[in-house]
Structure 1
Amino acid sequence: MRNLSNSVITTPTLLPLYSESFAPVNNPEKGAITKPSLVFLHGLLGSTADWQQVVAHLSSDYQCICIDLPGHAGSQAVTVNDFQDVQQLIIATLAQYELEHIVFIGYSLGARIAMTIADEPAVNWPYTIDGMLLESGNPGLNSSAEQLQRGLHDLGWVTRFSEAPLSQVLPDWYQQGVFASLTITQKTALIDTRSQIQANHNGFNGGVQISKMLAATSLSKQRFLLPKLQNAEFYVRMVCGELDPKFLQLTQASQLDYRAVAKAGHNVHADRPIVFIELVSDFVSEIVSKKALCKHAA
């Protein structure tokens, strides 16, 4: 019987993941507080394209970098063993850009990856994290029984993705409870989009590559990160949709700063993009303002 601990056995090549960068046209005024760069991490089955509308607005004020995670879209050929491998690949990817201070904007799996970096940054982690906006991100399971149960649950999906075409798996994937707020039309559109983006390329099977990433970054393998987030030295804000009862409850119980968005489900930035853009803009503006106050007080 397969298990999550040995589903992925390859070692990643530390080449950059596929990424896209969008920078403001205007240079900052002399003496102004340097604005952080925004690093966007999508969820499972997502891609840089998921952030297109959000980045189109925010890139007028901030450098925005969107990354295709291992096994996905432009990074489809890349496989990893664990969260530490993902972190090293993100370091290699961001090294292409001139960065000092960053704010992570992570959705679902992307939020969990950001959390793991906050929990245990690699010894070669070179950037100052000013903040994290974590959308529908699970901070982890707090018992071995929960981890075992989740491991078995994810193993089922790992097997499905590795053995069946995406066109057969995705209709069942989007029947999960966190997607209950989606209409049939929305689910059909998502299935079509995901099937096209994650289609087989250059000899790589899209479903198999997704299965490897899911095995490597299963919630069952993630530490319980809530205490670390509650005591983080940077700003942390959770975002969830009011139509996503599981993550609304998780977020409210986290004792972290959060925003619950009306008329939105698990994917807030897709359901309410304008509201999400405002949430990101407000969050980063608060960080910049507080940094300015600290600079003047020093």
Structure 2
Amino acid sequence: MPTIKRYGDTALPALVLLHGFLGSKEDWQACLPTLSQYFHCICIDLPGHGENEQILPTPGFEALADTITHQVINLGYPQFHLLGYSLGGRVALHIAKFHPAALLSLMLESAHLGLCSTRDKQTRLKHDQKWAEKLASKPLRTFLSEWYQQPVFAELNNDAREQLINIRSKNNPQALLHCFQSTSLGLQDNGQKVLKQLHCPRYLLVGENDNKFSNLAEKWQQKIDLSVITIPHSGHNTHKAQPKMFAASVIQLLYP
């Protein structure tokens, strides 16, 4: 079962927060003093991260969506707001697909909606396999150093990158590998179809300096009804770069 930490009055509406690849439930700490005044915040470790040792099947999205949804419902929240960053957002899309009635709203932060063509999916699987081989064969710190050199993390300076590497080095590389392979973007369902059929409010938050996802957001908006919110002075990880602004945006959207 996903490991959980909870913050805020249990009588408040529930907000489930799902971190990104290499992260943990602790990643939301800077946002929680504000968010927990308005929501009962439920922060969850994804499989292979933090304290969660669950091994997923491949592909693992449906099993993970079921596990998280049932866990939250068993806490006493048959409906909840859902917020996911990057990988967590891609997991959130599958919760929206398989358990749409459970969602009060869906908020995606820098999350890919999925690839549409079989060719693109196969290309991505090959790309991810190369990263999987690096994760399996190299020391974790070496893998992390290469991972955080990707263009999507260009906003990180050397100190911030080194700090992240130190934190992420505490993970179990074998557990990370299982999660990475079972949740590849090449295995993900088409999130555009999911959003078209979803009746609750849905939002996409992107960083002002995240060129890749800003461009993707523009393309997605041409195809589906999706509210896009740009967080100033931030890159891919907006809740880390601008936690107060990020939290204020979430509250403004869900408490208009």
The TM-score with structure 2 as length reference comes to: 0.93
1:147 to 97, 121, 131: 121
Q: Could you tell me whether the CA contact under 8 Å between 2:73 and 2:79 is conserved in 1? A: no
The answer on 1:80 being equivalent to 2:42 is: no
* CA–CA distance in structure 2, aligned partners of residues 227 and 89 of structure 1: 22
Q: Does residue 210 of structure 2 align to residue 225 of structure 1?
A: no
Looking at structure 1, the residues matched to 70 and 177 of structure 2 have their Cα atoms a distance apart, in angstroms, of: 23
CA contact (8 A) 2:209 2:233 kept: yes
Deviation at 1:165, TM superposition (A): 2.0
Q: Rg bigger for which structure?
A: 1
Give the distance between the partners of 1:165 and 1:209, measured in 2 at CA: 14
Quote the Cα distance in structure 1 between the aligned partners of 2:218 and 2:228. Answer: 8
**How many Å apart are 1:162 and its aligned residue?**
2.0
Q: Structure 2 residue aligned with 1:261, among 221, 225, 231?
A: 231
2-structure distance, mates of 1:168, 1:89: 32
Q: Summarize the alignment of residues 66-215 of structure 1 with structure 2, pairs less than 5 Å apart.
A: 66-75=43-52, 77-81=53-57, 82-121=60-99, 128-196=102-170, 198=171, 206-215=172-181
How many Å separate the matches in 2 of 1:263 and 1:69? 28
Q: Report if aligned partners of 1:36, 1:130 keep a CA contact under 8 Å in 2.
A: no
Partner of 1:276: 246
CA contact (8 A) 2:15 2:80 kept: yes
Following TM superposition, by how much is the alpha carbon of 1:145 offset from its aligned partner in structure 2, in angstroms?
Answer: 1.5
Report the Cα offset of residue 88 of structure 1.
Answer: 2.4
Measure, in 1, the Cα distance between the counterparts of 2:219 and 2:196: 12
Give the 3-state SS of the residue equivalent to 2:169 in structure 1: helix
Sort the Cα spacing of 1:231 and 1:84 in 2 relative to 1 into closer, same or farther, 3 A.
Answer: closer
Indicate conservation of the 8 Å contact 2:38/2:251, yes or no.
Answer: no
Count of residue correspondences: 250
Q: Which runs of 5+ in 2 are unaligned?
A: none
Instruction: Write the distance in 1 (CA, Å) between the matches of 2:201 and 2:233.
Output: 26
Deviation per CA, 1:36-61, whole angstroms, max 9, x where unpaired? Answer: 31000000000011011112221122
Match of 1:234, SS? Answer: coil
Runs of 4+ in 1 over 4 A off after TM superposition: none
Structure 1 residue 22 corresponds to structure 2 residue 3: no
Percent identity of paired positions between Structure 1 and Structure 2: 32
Secondary structure, counterpart of 1:73 in structure 2: coil
CA distance in 1, matches of 2:71, 2:198: 24
CA distance in 1, matches of 2:216, 2:142: 30
CA distance in 1, matches of 2:35, 2:152: 27
- Which residue is equivalent to 1:9? none
**CA deviation after TM superposition for structure 1 residue 254, in Å:** 1.4
Structure 1 residue 119: Cα displacement: 2.0
Structure 1 residues 141-174: Cα deviation after superposition (integer angstroms, max 9, x where no partner): 1111211111011111112112222111000000
Report the alpha carbon displacement of residue 96 of structure 1 after superposing the two structures with TM. Answer: 4.2
Match of 1:293 in 2: none
Deviation string for 1:203-229 (max 9, x for gaps)? xxx111101101001000012211321
Amino acid at match of 2:4: S
Structure 1 Cα separation of the partners of residues 74 and 190 of structure 2:
31
Greater mean deviation of Cα atoms: 213-222 or 81-90: 81-90
**Does the 8 Å CA contact 1:139/1:225 hold for their aligned counterparts?**
yes
* Alignment check: 8 A CA contact 1:157 1:211 kept: no
Name structure 1 gaps, 5 residues minimum: 1-15, 28-34, 199-205, 287-298
Q: Does the 8 Å CA contact 2:109/2:204 hold for their aligned counterparts?
A: yes
Q: Measure the CA separation in 1 of the matches of 2:24 and 2:18.
A: 8
